[in-house]
C-alpha cells in the first residue's frame, strides 16, 4: 500500500509508475474518488457531532423546545444513516483501489516491457563445454531412479513428481546447506504455517490480483490459502505490531513446502520439474527501519547469500536488474538470479531478490518506534536462498558424467554421509 499523502502531492509519479509497470489503474480517477470520500467523511463526522450536541442540549429542554429538538434529532438520524451508507460504499471502493496502486520503482530500475528487457549485471562461473551427449534432468532422474514424474502425475495430476532415494536425500542436503548458511549469517530460522488467512496474502501484496495462483482451501470461513512462499507467513509474523528501533533489523528465514497453481501457464515450461505445483524453499525475509541506504545494504546482503549458495553448488549463474515492466506491484527494486541449465541452453530463473520499502508494512500495519518516540512503518525485503526441485535441473545436468553418474558438489557431501556421486541402480 502506498503513502496517500505523497500520492496527493505528486500524482504524476504514480501515473508514471503504473505506466512503467504496465498496471491498469486510473490514478486520476482514484484521486477524484479520494476527494469525494474525504469530503463525505467530513460531512458525516459533522452530522454526528451535531447529533452529540443535540443529545446534550436535549437534557435541559422541555415542552415545545424539546419537541423541536426531537424533530431535529430525527432528521439528523436520517441524514447520518443515508450519508453513512453512501460513505461506506465509497470507502469500500476507496480501499479496494488503493490496493491496486503500484509503488514507485527505484531510480536505478531500467525501463522495459518484460523479462527480455532485464539488464544483466554480472556473471559467475563458466558455461561448460561437454565432450559427450548430454542428458537432461528428466532422463538423468529416470536413469538414476531419483525422479519419477510419471507416477507423480498418476497420483496427483499434471506438474507433480516424486523425488526418491538419492533424489530425496539430495534435496534435503540442499535445504540443510541453505539453512546452515543463513544460520551462520545471523538469520533466525522459521518452520512457518503452510496455511494462512487472506489478510496475510493481502498484507504481503499477493492479493488482490494473485488469487488464481493460490490454492484456496474449502473450509468453513472460506479464507484459508496454501502459501506460495514462506515470505507470506514470515513477513506477516509481526503484523499489527509496533517494534522498537533497537530490535531492528530482523533477519528471518522461512523453510517450507510451497504451493502454486501455475494458472495461465499451460504449455509453458512444462518439461520436467521447472514449473510444478509443489516445491520447497528457504526464503530470506528482512525487516528493517525506514532507511533507504540501510535497505539497499540488506538487499545486497541477501542477494549475496543466494549467490554464495549457487557458488557452493558450483553452478554458473548471472544476476540481472529487473526492468519496471517485469516488476510486481509492490517491488521498488528487484534482481533476478538465473542459473545456467544445459538442456535448455540458457539461463533459467532460480531466485528473485525484492525490496519493498514500506509497501508491505503499510498493509501489514508493521511499525516501529524510533529513538524520538515517533512511530514509522518498517521496510521489508525478501529473497530466495534456494528453491528445489528447480535447482535440481542445473545441478544434475551440470554435474553429470559420461558414465551416467552425477557428481555431488563437495559442499553437499557432508549432508549425504560423505557420498561423492549418484550412480544408476544397475551400476
Answer yes or no: are the C-beta atoms of 258 and 276 closer than 8 Å: no
- In contact, 298 and 286? CB cutoff 8 Å: yes
DSSP letters of 183-196?
A: HHTTPEEE---SEE
CB atoms within 10 A of CB 76: 17
Select which of 176, 275, 344, 369 is catalytic: 275
Helices within 99-159 (DSSP H only): 137-143, 149-156
For residue 29, the 8-state DSSP code is H
Nine cell digits for residue 133: 551427449
Known catalytic residue at 344: no
| Triad 87, 16, 383: Cα angle to 5° | 90
Given a contact cutoff of 8 angstroms between Cβ atoms, the answer to whether 350 and 337 are in contact is yes
End-to-end CA distance of the chain: 57
Catalytic residue (choose from 36, 139, 294, 349):
349
**Is 420 part of the annotated catalytic residue set?**
no
275 CB-side CA count, 13 A: 14
The Cα 351–Cα 19 span in angstroms is: 26
- How many Å apart are CA 201 and CA 216, to the nearest integer? 11
* Known active-site residue 260: yes
Residue 338 known to be catalytic: no
Closest Cα partner for 281 from 416, 147, 389, 411?
389
Active site residue 19: no
Catalytic one of 103, 230, 343, 352: 352
Cell of 254: 522461512
Considering 159, 260, 362, 367, which one is annotated as catalytic? 260
Please state, in angstroms and rounded to a whole number, the distance separating the CA atoms of residues 339 and 348: 5
List phi, psi (to 5°) of 20.
Answer: -65, -35
Helix (H, G, I), strand (E, B) or coil at 318: strand
The catalytic residues are 260, 275, 349, 352, 390
Amino acid at each position: 500500500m502506498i503513502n496517500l499523502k505523497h500520492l496527493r502531492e505528486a500524482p504524476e509519479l504514480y501515473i508514471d509508475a503504473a505506466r512503467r509497470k504496465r498496471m491498469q489503474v486510473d490514478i486520476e480517477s482514484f484521486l477524484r474518488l479520494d476527494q469525494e470520500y474525504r469530503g463525505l467523511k467530513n460531512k458525516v463526522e459533522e452530522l454526528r457531532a451535531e447529533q452529540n450536541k443535540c443529545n446534550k442540549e436535549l437534557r435541559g429542554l422541555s415542552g415545545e423546545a424539546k419537541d423541536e429538538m426531537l424533530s431535529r434529532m430525527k432528521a439528523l438520524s436520517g441524514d447520518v444513516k443515508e450519508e453513512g451508507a453512501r460513505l461506506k460504499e465509497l470507502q469500500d471502493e476507496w480501499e479496494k483501489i488503493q490496493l491496486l496502486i503500484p509503488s514507485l520503482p527505484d531510480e536505478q530500475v531500467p525501463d522495459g516491457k518484460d523479462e527480455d528487457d532485464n539488464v544483466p549485471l554480472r556473471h559467475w562461473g563458466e558455461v561448460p563445454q561437454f565432450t559427450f551427449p548430454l542428458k537432461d534432468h528428466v532422463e538423468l532422474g529416470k536413469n538414476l531412479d531419483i525422479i519419477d514424474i510419471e507416477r507423480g502425475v498418476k497420483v496427483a495430476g499434471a506438474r507433480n513428481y516424486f523425488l526418491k532415494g538419492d533424489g530425496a536425500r539430495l534435496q534435503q542436503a540442499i535445504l540443510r546447506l541453505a539453512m546452515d548458511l543463513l544460520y551462520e549469517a545471523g538469520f533466525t530460522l522459521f518452520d512457518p504455517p503452510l496455511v494462512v488467512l487472506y489478510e496475510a496474502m493481502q498484507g504481503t501484496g499477493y492479493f488482490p490480483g494473485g488469487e488464481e495462483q493460490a490454492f484456496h482451501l474449502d473450509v468453513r470461513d472460506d479464507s484459508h490459502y496454501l502459501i506460495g512462499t514462506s515470505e507470506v507467513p514470515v513477513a506477516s509474523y509481526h503484523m499489527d505490531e509496533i517494534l522498537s528501533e533497537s530490535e531492528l533489523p530482523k533477519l528471518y528465514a522461512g523453510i517450507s513446502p510451497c504451493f502454486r497453481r501455475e494458472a495461465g501457464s499451460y504449455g509453458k515450461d512444462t518439461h520436467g520439474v521447472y514449473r510444478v505445483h509443489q516445491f520447497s524453499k528457504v526464503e530470506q525475509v528482512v525487516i528493517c527501519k525506514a532507511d533507504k541506504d540501510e535497505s539497499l545494504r540488506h538487499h545486497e546482503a541477501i542477494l549475496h547469500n543466494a549467490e554464495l549458495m549457487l557458488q557452493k553448488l558450483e553452478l554458473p549463474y548471472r544476476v540481472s536488474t529487473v526492468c519496471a515492466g517485469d516488476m510486481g506491484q509492490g517491488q521498488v527494486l528487484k534482481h533476478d538470479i538465473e542459473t545456467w541449465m544445459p538442456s535448455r541452453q540458457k539461463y533459467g530463473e532460480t531466485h528473485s531478490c525484492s525490496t519493498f520499502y514500506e509497501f508491505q508494512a503499510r498493509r501489514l500495519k508493521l511499525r516501529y518506534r524510533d529513538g524520538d518516540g515517533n512511530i514509522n512503518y518498517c521496510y521489508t525485503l525478501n529473497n530466495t536462498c534456494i528453491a528445489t526441485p528447480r535447482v535440481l535441473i542445473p545441478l544434475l545436468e551440470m554435474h553429470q558424467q559420461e558414465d551416467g553418474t552425477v557428481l555431488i558438489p563437495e559442499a553437499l557431501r557432508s549432508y549425504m554421509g560423505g557420498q561423492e556421486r549418484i550412480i544408476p541402480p544397475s551400476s
